[in-house]
């Protein structure tokens, strides 16, 4: 059990998917349709884009055909197999927001993101890459590694800011190879003085450009920079609708300030960015049984397009958690890769002190890291049910 009594959830395993029951769309119309109608409409859109496509790779064609088959099975109430794939609720929300020309790209990307980890397929590049503009954060949330002073204190040596040149090097390599880039990880991206340049450099290069922020530092300038960028998704980390609970979780944050910032974001968005395709998500970590996604929706619906609660992993005590006997492979090893502010590359952010890392993006390229011997050795140990030999995998509940 966590040392903090507000955390009363004690998960045994964690998979990273957003569960339908923890997702709520604030603009209910589309998801109120019977699911059969939604599935048919998605099926028809994919099919028609597929018919009109002429430059798909063989792999992409194969994956789209699997997805179309999966939809046929779903529409006819047949069981899906491990390699089948249909979109979940939050993906449907993204799908409905896509420009037509990006439909097949999105389907292929989501297939790789969701199904490659299940089938243990290693693509040339990870389906998603997390880039951390800074490891520094202004908050000390109770479920976060920032509450570990041996990580977040200045003298520990983990704090810093990414150089624009490093960001450019990474983007130059992955453009056209990786569809989804998330600016996030161990710190608060909006603390970076050059975030606007980071965003500008990514303009038009990715299908799923996302940024996570605790929203405490938003002001007019930052909001305009975010809303005028090519971000497809802006995630605001807020877990509670109640002031007392919010401040218990997000230590150093003030509820009134968050509400003020949400109001400002809403006003600027409505006034100047009415036609923007950007989706705003309010996303919290479910650390207490009382947190409820529908109640959050009622409270925050005017400020966001979707509300999500993600499953908790005891990140705050990653290196002290009890050694467990989980033998399942970790999906992160096939899905995402993390580049930190100093260029260090790590397979996950549970291991926030990068004990697993042997690479640096300043000198190594992303493709060779993802396919390196050492990365594959970690995967092999997971595959042969020996993750207990790896620190901190043996304490981690991620599957
Ligand atoms: S510590 Fe190991 S098991 Fe946990 S998320 Fe990282 S790679 Fe996966």
**Chain segment 300-343, per-residue pLDDT in tens:** 999 999 999 998 988 999 999 999 999 999 999 999 999 999 99
Determine what percent of the chain is predicted with pLDDT higher than 90: 85
Q: What is the mean pLDDT of residues 25-30?
A: 71
**Chain segment 206-262, per-residue pLDDT in tens:** 999 999 999 999 999 999 999 999 999 999 999 999 999 999 999 999 999 999 999
CA of 398 to the centre of ligand 1 (A): 6
Is the shortest distance between the CB of 350 and ligand 1 below 6 Å?
yes
Alpha carbon distance 259, 265 (integer Å): 10
Helix (H, G, I), strand (E, B) or coil at 211: strand
**Chain segment 161-173, per-residue pLDDT in tens:** 999 999 999 999 9
- Which residue owns the Cα nearest ligand 1 atom 2? 393
Identify the weakest region by mean pLDDT among 2-11, 53-62, 114-123, 318-327. 2-11
Q: Are 312 and 14 in contact (CB under 8 A)?
A: yes
**Chain segment 267-277, per-residue pLDDT in tens:** 999 999 998 98
Is the shortest distance between the CB of 393 and ligand 1 below 6 Å?
yes
CA of 142 to the centre of ligand 1 (A): 20
CA of 29 to the centre of ligand 1 (A): 38
How many Å is the Cα radius of gyration of the chain? 21
Query: What's the whole-model pTM score?
Result: 0.94
Alpha carbon distance 75, 63 (integer Å): 18
CA of 373 to the centre of ligand 1 (A): 17
Question: To the nearest whole number, what is the mean pLDDT of the chain?
Answer: 94
- Which residue owns the Cα nearest ligand 1 atom 1? 393
CA dihedral 135, 352, 166, 208 (to 10 degrees): -90
Q: Are 287 and 7 in contact (CB under 8 A)?
A: yes
Alpha carbon distance 349, 351 (integer Å): 5
- Which residue owns the Cα nearest ligand 1 atom 3? 393
Query: Atom of ligand 1 at shortest distance to CA of 351?
Result: 1
Is the shortest distance between the CB of 396 and ligand 1 below 6 Å?
yes
Alpha carbon distance 167, 130 (integer Å): 11
Q: Are strands 233-237 and 279-286 parallel, antiparallel or unpaired?
A: parallel
Is the shortest distance between the CB of 398 and ligand 1 below 6 Å?
yes
Q: Are 215 and 237 in contact (CB under 8 A)?
A: yes
CA of 382 to the centre of ligand 1 (A): 10
The best mutation among 331, 349, 398, 399 to test binding of ligand 1, ranked by most ligand atoms within 8 Å of the C-beta, falls on: 398
The Cα diameter of the chain in Å comes to 60
CA of 361 to the centre of ligand 1 (A): 20
Query: Atom of ligand 1 at shortest distance to CA of 390?
Result: 2
Q: Is 141 left (phi over 0), alpha (psi -120 to 50) or beta?
A: beta
pLDDT surpasses 90 at 37? no
- Which residue owns the Cα nearest ligand 1 atom 6? 348
Instruction: Say whether the peptide bond before residue 4 is cis (omega within 30 degrees of 0).
Output: no
**With the C-alpha atoms ordered 326, 331, 333, 338, is the resulting torsion angle positive or negative?**
negative
């Amino acid at each position: 059990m966590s040392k903090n009594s507000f955390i009363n959830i004690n998960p045994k395993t964690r998979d990273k998917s957003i569960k339908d029951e923890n997702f709520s769309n604030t603009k209910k119309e589309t998801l109120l349709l019977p699911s059969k109608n939604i599935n048919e409409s998605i099926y028809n859109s994919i099919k028609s884009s597929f018919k009109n496509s002429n430059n798909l790779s063989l792999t992409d064609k194969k994956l789209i055909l699997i997805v179309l088959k999966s939809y046929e099975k779903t529409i006819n109430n047949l069981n899906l197999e491990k390699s089948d794939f249909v979109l979940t609720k939050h993906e449907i929300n993204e799908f409905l927001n896509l420009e037509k020309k990006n439909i097949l790209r999105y389907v292929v990307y989501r297939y790789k993101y969701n199904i490659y980890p299940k089938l243990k397929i290693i693509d040339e590049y990870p389906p998603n890459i997390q880039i951390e503009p800074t490891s520094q954060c202004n908050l000390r949330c109770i479920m976060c590694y920032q509450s570990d002073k041996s990580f977040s204190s200045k003298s520990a040596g983990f704090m810093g800011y990414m150089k624009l040149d490093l960001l450019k090097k990474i983007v130059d390599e992955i453009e056209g190879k990786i569809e989804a880039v998330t600016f996030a990880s161990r710190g608060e991206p909006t603390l970076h003085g050059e975030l606007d340049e980071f965003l500008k450099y990514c303009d038009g290069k990715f299908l799923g450009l996302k940024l996570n922020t605790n929203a405490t530092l938003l002001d007019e300038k930052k909001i305009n920079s975010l809303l005028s960028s090519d971000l497809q998704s802006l995630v605001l980390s807020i877990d509670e609708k109640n002031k007392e609970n919010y401040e218990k979780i997000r230590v150093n944050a003030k509820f009134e300030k968050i509400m003020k910032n949400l109001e400002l974001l809403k006003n600027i968005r409505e006034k100047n960015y009415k036609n923007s395709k950007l989706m705003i998500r309010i996303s919290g970590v479910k650390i207490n049984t009382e947190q409820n996604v529908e109640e959050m929706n009622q409270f925050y619906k005017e400020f966001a397009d979707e509300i999500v609660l993600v499953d908790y992993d005891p990140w705050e005590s990653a290196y002290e958690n009890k050694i467990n006997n989980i033998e399942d492979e970790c999906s992160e090893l096939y899905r995402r890769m993390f580049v930190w502010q100093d260029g260090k590359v790590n397979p996950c952010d549970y291991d926030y002190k990068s004990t697993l890392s042997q690479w640096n993006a300043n000198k190594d390229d992303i493709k060779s890291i993802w396919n390196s011997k050492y990365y594959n050795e970690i995967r092999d140990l997971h595959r042969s049910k020996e993750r207990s030999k790896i620190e901190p995998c043996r304490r981690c509940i991620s599957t």
